A and B are shown apart, each in its own frame.
Chain A
């Protein structure tokens, strides 16, 4: 018997995400090839710069992956809460984890009036789901809060911290340190090496810029993917949509001083705390898709769930 499903994956999103990752990979390969090519053409050993960049880039990526939960919690000033301290919050998370059949992350609360939530950690056993006091203060209904938590749990299920740190973070750091150490070797022992250094710095800078933009793009796709999985998990895309509207409206009212403090955590947040006002060009630097885009995608899911006859799988 063919089973029927209402939960088909979004093929367009998958294709766009694959294309972005392919481009990132391409940039990476081209970059390494170019550095080695330049070096060997100038008869200088490539080992030095590449080795140092790999050690530093890889080491920093590993550190930030391994300690992502502790770093994020410390930055947000959040504390872990037990089921006794926050029974309602834990009960919502319990139910969502049982629906999704996933390990329950630890739960933390950050003492800020801003309405937001984030999830971090290198794997599902070590992840932390953190909400702010602002999002718990009753401005969101239980259903809306649940939508937000389902979105964050989807980030955990998609292993977004690993993917973004390993695929994305590694490349940027690699380019960054190549530039740094390429420059650090100034005053080499022959004239060819002296010509080489500006060239390497230039290539690294270009790679850094391109990969930075691609990673922002990837981040936006992963937000849409988390919206989608979260909405399918609860079966209430509209609740997530109205939560998004409420949270982004409250973002605009918050004074800048609080916002500046929140900046280091931006990539992990449910909606970015710092939102550039304009659209268009500023969108390509943004870690999160625009509110309009997110609402439109949720409306699509709503139609999909409401079909009278589900798709054949």
Chain B
């Protein structure tokens, strides 16, 4: 924020950065090669819905668009859930080897919101991974910063996360993804749909 904006009490809503999301498929390959974590094929986009019909219409158009994939049989229908914090999650489920298709779906949601002027409402995107012993790992993409961070929930109720695993994944993917360097911004998304 500029000096003038501060003086005048204005905030410019932050526009999302979308391009870095496309680094995900190659990062998934790297992760699979260097650890036991494989993509589950599901991923989600989380955004803050705006009140009013305009936004609801746009959201419906996006889900209709994505459900066309489902009719072709390459993916399951999109799930729409609202979490207890009032954020909306669109969950897209693909085959576990089709991470390209998943990222394309997620990007369709992003561009629909951005093209209609609702870009600042995007919060994060989450792509789920799992290893042989069923440990869960999410790669979370923060739209406003254009960075990724790992989120490994262990116990939702006790709100425990596996920091060791997260740091390890950070090291593994440092060359492939722009990892969020400020650890204070690795905020947990407990009970995120699509994990």
Contact = CB atoms under 8 A, between A and B. Distances in A.
Interface string A50-94: 000000000000000000000000000000000110010001101
B contact face: mostly helix, strand, loop, or mixed: loop
Count chain A CB atoms within 10 A of each CB in B7, B145, B188 and give the residue with the most: B7
A308 B89 CA distance: 23
Contacts of B11: 100, 154, 157-158, 229, 232-233
B48 A235 contact: yes
Contacts of A159: 6
Interface stretch (B21-29, B59-67, B116-124): B116-124
A14 B10 contact: yes
A235 B14 contact: no
B144 A146 contact: no
A302 to B, nearest CB: 7
Interface stretch (B37-45, B49-57, B129-137): B49-57
Contacts, number: 127
Interface string A135-151: 00000001100100000
Contact of A95 (B85, B116, B120): B85
Contacts of A246: none
Interface residues of A, number: 53
A225 to B, nearest CB: 3
Nearest to A83: B159
Interface string A1-39: 001111101000010011001000000000000000000
A142 B86 contact: yes
Given A101-B144, A101-B145, A146-B85, A302 B52 contact: yes
A157 to B, nearest CB: 5
A157 B1 contact: yes
B39 to A, nearest CB: 23
A307 B54 CA distance: 7
B120 A99 contact: yes
A183 B9 CA distance: 37
Q: How large is the interface on B (under 10, 10 to 19, 20 to 34, 35 or more residues)?
A: 35 or more
Count chain A CB atoms within 10 A of each CB in B49, B85, B116, B124 and give the residue with the most: B85
Nearest to A308: B54
A310 B10 CA distance: 19
Given A95-B187, A98-B123, A7 B8 contact: no
A7 B12 contact: yes
A83 B1 CA distance: 28
A126 interface: no
Count chain B CB atoms within 10 A of each CB in A5, A221, A238 and give the residue with the most: A5
Count chain A CB atoms within 10 A of each CB in B11, B52, B145 and give the residue with the most: B11
A17 B9 contact: yes
A163 B121 CA distance: 28
B177 interface: no
Given A98-B142, A100-B11, 16 more contacts: A7-B12, A17-B9, A87-B159, A95-B85, A158-B6, A158-B11, A163-B6, A233-B120, A234-B86, A235-B48, A302-B51, A305-B51, A305-B54, A305-B55, A306-B51, A306-B53
Interface of B: 1, 6-15, 48-55, 84-87, 114-121, 123-124, 142, 144-145, 159, 184-185, 187-188, 190
Interface of A: 3-7, 9, 14, 17-18, 21, 83-84, 87, 91-92, 94-95, 97-101, 103-104, 142-143, 146, 154, 157-160, 162-163, 221-222, 225-226, 229, 232-239, 302, 305-308, 310
